[in-house]
Structure 1
Amino acid sequence: MATPKVIKINARSATIVEGKSRAPNRSMYYAMGYQESDFRKPMVGVANGHSTITPCNSGLQKLADAAIAGIEEAGGNAQVFGTPTISDGMAMGTEGMKYSLVSREVISDCIETCVQGQWMDGVLVVGGCDKNMPGGLMGILRANVPAIYVYGGTILPGRWKDQDLNIVSVFEAVGQNAAGNLSDADLREIEMHAIPGTGSCGGMYTANTMSSAFEALGISLPYSSTMANPHDEKMNSAKESAKVLIEAIKKDIKPRDIVTKKAIENAVAVIMATGGSTNAVLHFLAIAHTAGVEWTIDDFERIRQRTPVLCDLKPSGKYLAVDLHKAGGIPQVMKVLLNAGLLHGDCLTITGQTMAEVLKDVPDQPRADQDVIRPISNPMYAQGHLAILKGNLSPEGAVAKITGLKKPVMTGPARVFDDEQSALKAILDGKIVAGDVMVLRYLGPKGGPGMPEMLAPTGALIGAGLGESVGLITDGRFSGGTWGMVVGHVAPEAAAGGTIAFIHEGDSITIDAHQLKLELNVPEAEIAKRRAAWTAPAPRYTRGVQAKFAFNAASASKGAVLDLY
């Protein structure tokens, strides 16, 4: 009989607390209230994303406090450090939005730096807004000590005139107001009632998409991704997460044991089944790179073609994340996929169980008294919604949401903009008409820099009634709240000499969601002539974090990572 592996649960932190030579180190711990017995316990980091910058993160402190209590009750020492956040919703449509994707890297750097610099034995990450999730997981994977992710939770819906509201309602209301279809008074009422309290944006937007994917990976606890931040169960889940983490330290379960290729396939299947955000494509390319997993943009298309959309969720559907939670949450979605052979049940989770074991007691079919989650026999759509489009405009790929489009093929004249603000002004001034294909370029990882999201223009198009009659392509990103005939992540980007840089006003462009094509209908000889005459624009930043990001960022087709050496 094999001898069980003996795990020293403070093996890493012992490096800085054990032995006579570490007496000065222990003195510093004594100053914080440590006792001698504490040096035999694991040192567990709590990466706390609490911030009063945004409602997505302003409810995190209570979760961090619950996690700290759970760590200490389970026999660990909690070591709290902060991670920053950017509010995508507040920065949207401004130069500040260019710092959003940058924050993904800063967050991962913070976690890796603190965990490795302080020899922590494990880490629990608490995050809320969009980039908190991929940034947190990338930091976890770099450090590769036992770790768990605690999502801050979704926001509750706002309410006005018997309608549920969310942040996207306000962006679309701006467009309705500009088109003369909504009064100033009603715009004000929507503004005042859309966001009633703490939590991340309520549809299957980027934050809820990534948290759901983390649950599917097995790096977060079951049901935790769809809980509402204000509810007590969220605090209870945070405390339970801490206790599960201590057990994972004892079992030496590490993030790279969990985040495997099979686990990423599970996560992407759930993203497709729930109608998740285009940003998940970019982030999972980066997550896979950090985990050392071979994964390309074409793998998303492979999973998309075999995975149906099961959930009727905003932005293109009816319901919010709180409704998904009531209907059975991500475990119910996963059980349906598992029974259909679309999920790997043998993947390890942070609990020490396999995913199949985690889902063992979940009903085989969704409840009949709800229509948020569909059975596999009656999906919303037979295939996933996040398609990879290729063609002479995007030889490396571009990302589009293609389900539910009334007009899946569009050919129209290019309306070219080299910045977001002028594009938004053109929409609000009524200069964009049905049939146009808007081109927003020099907004990629290097060109933006930082690959900003385009929710303001797309929200304005929808509000103006042009959401399905105007196409929009960009080398930037889209908010998880975006829907319509939009194509993002066009690669190579304009700043790197991609074909999108050579489009002229009025050129014919085809977006074909059926054939998965994105084409500039200009002769190759003419494109070659334009390429030869093109010169790269001067960098928009020459100092600071944006300059560093622009210099190091890989293509969007590689996740826009900074360490692709």
Structure 2
Amino acid sequence: MSKGWRSSEVFAGPQNAGARALWKSMGYCDGDFGDRPVIGIANSWNTLVPGHFNLNMVSEQVKKGIHRAGGVAAEFGVIASCDGVCEGHRGMHFILPQREVIADSIELVAEAHHLDALVLLASCDKIVPGMLMAAARLDIPAIMITGGPMLGGVEFDGRKTDETSLHEALGMLASGKISEERFRSLENLCAPTCGSCSFFGTANTMCCLAEVLGMTLPGAALIPAVHSERLRLACETGEVICRMAREGLTARKILNGLSIENAVRATLAMSGSTNAVMHLAAIAAEAEAGVDVMDLFSRLGPETPQIVRVNPASKWNTEDFWMAGGIPRMLKRMMPLLQKDALTCTGRTVEENVSACVFPFPENDDVMKTLEAPFSPRGGIAVLRGNLAPDTAVTKPGAIDPSLHVFTGEARVFDSEDDANAAILAGKIQAGNVVVIRYEGPKGGPGMREMYRAMKYLYGMGLNKSTALVTDGRFSGTNNGCFVGHISPEAAEGGPLAIVRDGDKITVDVIEGTLHLHVSDGEIWERFASWKKPAPKVTRGHLALYSRLASSAAKGAVVRAE
């Protein structure tokens, strides 16, 4: 075995006969220990998550490509949970912390076994960024292939459905707008295939950003899960990782300040999930990229037009985005704004990749516009600051009706998502209210749950255009309406959100980028004088550890050794 491979320390020479014997016990052969790179396949396949249900088929094609290109494939499992299944109950506390466990577990396996390179298989919300964080931390050759989005379901309320349509329909059912039979029918027809959710939520946003970052082959993000083209691309991915290993094309040559800036631009241009802000901050930290992601969003937002509009911002879903040209066509239209010389996993630059792309489907101006004639002259994500968010908060103008871009209302305060949801369904929220949900941040939650159902219930109750919701928790990428999340510092750490009272006036201004509590500084300090930090909600297990070690949302909600 070549001394140039990391795996040589495991397999080369008579002193490592024991390691070779152990691998031979699984069917590996003498030829597998020659001058060939050992490629780890980090596969998050399971039958818990529809976005990961097809990854075993994808993995087999990756192995085929690795063998064709002269590598040795070694597969291992990675945990993955489904946000949609875990919404609205205690399970959601455990979702964001899994991102750290995923990154840690891949690092541990890759280092323990001295793997020469990695292929990362994932599709969903925290798994994709967790794997990218691991790649950045390890800085070995790495490439990602995602499982692809599911197809949209039966049409309902003017667009193709997905599983989140059920929560909107629940509000309609509660208000007598639809029948129980219609509601039950949606359950069977809204999610017709496996794949990541068909709306443009965190899962598909992060798959798209993996492509923008240069960590997947061009066009990989949006090919539907059930299309054979994804399997062909998986085989090519296996071939490419072997070339990357031989050429020494490591993760940090791709994941750096240039690609992070491109990813921020892309998030703004396609109005991606607000969670992308936090995940990009975490990836940048692991890559030691030397960029402040929050500042990038603040600086680039006003000068980056929104040129893509997909559900929840429109009736079009991810399949329509793919057919409109997907990420390659979007990058082609954005090229004047991009760091076009950023290197990608192909060994070519972003500009070179896009120049080589062929687009089999016609353009769709209802899904993707141009820089010259965009949906909006400003990006679809905004970072807010103010006396209610001294560090930062995040919102999504691309999913907010223009009439709500500046909204002032009276606070209705809840110390948990569960209490807020119950109040909304009980009809206790009125037009003009700002629903405040606190103690749901990384430490206070713990785990920073998504306030997904609250927004869906407001939509179903007909309040999505007359109320706002602010929280130190997170939102799903499918939410729309006037919402602000990731408020930092969080309430549990003594952020101003902790002292808001019912009846206080709050103004959300996504144009000026401010979040203001209409209470004097003196009154704020007086309230803090009587405030006491709450006791931890969890005192054992992984959540207790995460609660102690997690950074603020403004820093990516990461767990850092220092």
The reply to whether residue 294 of structure 1 matches residue 295 of structure 2 is no
Q: Note the residue ranges of structure 1 that are not aligned, 5 or more in a row.
A: 1-6
User: Distance in 2 between the 1:398 and 1:56 partners?
Assistant: 29
| Amino acid across the alignment from 1:149 | M
User: Distance in 1 between the 2:472 and 2:133 partners?
Assistant: 23
The reply to whether residue 213 of structure 1 matches residue 206 of structure 2 is no
User: Distance in 2 between the 1:186 and 1:199 partners?
Assistant: 24
Relative to 1, partners in 2 of residues 1:368 and 1:452: Cα closer, same or farther, differing over 3 Å?
A: closer
Instruction: State which of 37, 40, 51 in structure 2 corresponds to 1:56.
Output: 51
| Amino acid across the alignment from 1:33 | G
The reply to whether residue 503 of structure 1 matches residue 518 of structure 2 is no
Identity, % of aligned positions: 40
Deviation (angstroms), 1:468: 1.7
Instruction: State which of 26, 31, 36 in structure 1 corresponds to 2:30.
Output: 36
| Amino acid across the alignment from 1:53 | L
C-alpha offsets along residues 418-442 of structure 1, whole Å, 9 cap, x if unaligned?
1111100111111100000000000
| Amino acid across the alignment from 2:447 | G
| Amino acid across the alignment from 2:116 | D
Instruction: State which of 73, 82, 89 in structure 1 corresponds to 2:68.
Output: 73
Instruction: State which of 477, 480, 483 in structure 2 corresponds to 1:483.
Output: 480
**Count of matched residue pairs:** 556
Alignment of 1:188-267 (within 5 A): 188-267=184-263
Deviation (angstroms), 1:260: 1.1
The reply to whether residue 149 of structure 1 matches residue 111 of structure 2 is no
In the alignment, which residue of structure 2 is the partner of 1:84?
79
In the alignment, which residue of structure 2 is the partner of 1:350?
345
| Amino acid across the alignment from 2:110 | V
Deviation (angstroms), 1:496: 0.2
- SS at 1:224's partner residue? coil
User: Distance in 2 between the 1:312 and 1:561 partners?
Assistant: 30
In the alignment, which residue of structure 2 is the partner of 1:25?
19
Deviation (angstroms), 1:527: 0.7
In the alignment, which residue of structure 2 is the partner of 1:517?
514
In the alignment, which residue of structure 2 is the partner of 1:312?
309
Structure 1 range deviating more: 110-119 or 403-412? 403-412
User: Distance in 2 between the 1:171 and 1:476 partners?
Assistant: 19
- SS at 2:554's partner residue? helix
- SS at 2:209's partner residue? helix
Instruction: State which of 421, 424, 435 in structure 2 corresponds to 1:424.
Output: 421
In the alignment, which residue of structure 1 is the partner of 2:181?
185
The reply to whether residue 529 of structure 1 matches residue 526 of structure 2 is yes
Instruction: State which of 403, 420, 431 in structure 2 corresponds to 1:406.
Output: 403
User: Distance in 1 between the 2:256 and 2:362 partners?
Assistant: 31
Q: Contact 1:389/1:513 (CA < 8 Å) preserved in 2?
A: yes
Deviation (angstroms), 1:295: 2.6
| Amino acid across the alignment from 1:288 | A
| Amino acid across the alignment from 1:73 | R
C-alpha offsets along residues 467-523 of structure 1, whole Å, 9 cap, x if unaligned?
121110000000011111000000000000000001111111111122211111111
C-alpha offsets along residues 7-49 of structure 1, whole Å, 9 cap, x if unaligned?
9586100001112211111110111112222112111100111
| Amino acid across the alignment from 1:56 | G
Q: Contact 2:323/2:362 (CA < 8 Å) preserved in 1?
A: no
| Amino acid across the alignment from 1:16 | V
User: Distance in 2 between the 1:143 and 1:471 partners?
Assistant: 41
Q: Contact 2:124/2:204 (CA < 8 Å) preserved in 1?
A: no
C-alpha offsets along residues 67-119 of structure 1, whole Å, 9 cap, x if unaligned?
11211121111111111111100111111001110111111111111111100
Q: Contact 1:179/1:428 (CA < 8 Å) preserved in 2?
A: no
- What is the CA RMSD across the aligned residues, in angstroms? 1.6
User: Distance in 1 between the 2:305 and 2:364 partners?
Assistant: 21
- SS at 1:384's partner residue? coil
- SS at 2:137's partner residue? helix
Structure 1 range deviating more: 321-330 or 441-450? 321-330
Deviation (angstroms), 1:362: 4.2
Instruction: State which of 90, 93, 100 in structure 2 corresponds to 1:95.
Output: 90
The reply to whether residue 383 of structure 1 matches residue 362 of structure 2 is no
User: Distance in 2 between the 1:360 and 1:502 partners?
Assistant: 54
Q: Contact 2:384/2:393 (CA < 8 Å) preserved in 1?
A: yes
Deviation (angstroms), 1:307: 1.0
Deviation (angstroms), 1:377: 1.8
| Amino acid across the alignment from 2:10 | I
Alignment of 1:335-374 (within 5 A): 335-338=332-335, 341-362=336-357, 367-368=362-363, 370-374=365-369
The two structures have a TM-score, normalised by structure 1, of 0.96
Q: Contact 1:142/1:291 (CA < 8 Å) preserved in 2?
A: yes
Structure 1 range deviating more: 236-245 or 156-165? 156-165
In the alignment, which residue of structure 2 is the partner of 1:172?
168
User: Distance in 1 between the 2:290 and 2:140 partners?
Assistant: 21
In the alignment, which residue of structure 2 is the partner of 1:3?
none
User: Distance in 2 between the 1:368 and 1:337 partners?
Assistant: 15
| Amino acid across the alignment from 2:283 | I
- SS at 1:172's partner residue? helix
In the alignment, which residue of structure 1 is the partner of 2:278?
282
Structure 1 range deviating more: 162-171 or 434-443? 162-171
Deviation (angstroms), 1:318: 2.3
| Amino acid across the alignment from 1:328 | G
Deviation (angstroms), 1:382: 0.8
Structure 1 range deviating more: 156-165 or 445-454? 156-165
Q: Contact 1:475/1:491 (CA < 8 Å) preserved in 2?
A: yes
In the alignment, which residue of structure 1 is the partner of 2:131?
136
Structure 1 range deviating more: 435-444 or 203-212? 203-212
Structure 1 range deviating more: 176-185 or 121-130? 176-185
- SS at 1:527's partner residue? helix
| Amino acid across the alignment from 2:481 | G
C-alpha offsets along residues 415-468 of structure 1, whole Å, 9 cap, x if unaligned?
000111110011111110000000000000000000000111000001111112
User: Distance in 2 between the 1:361 and 1:54 partners?
Assistant: 34
Q: Contact 1:335/1:363 (CA < 8 Å) preserved in 2?
A: no
User: Distance in 1 between the 2:123 and 2:286 partners?
Assistant: 21
In the alignment, which residue of structure 2 is the partner of 1:111?
106
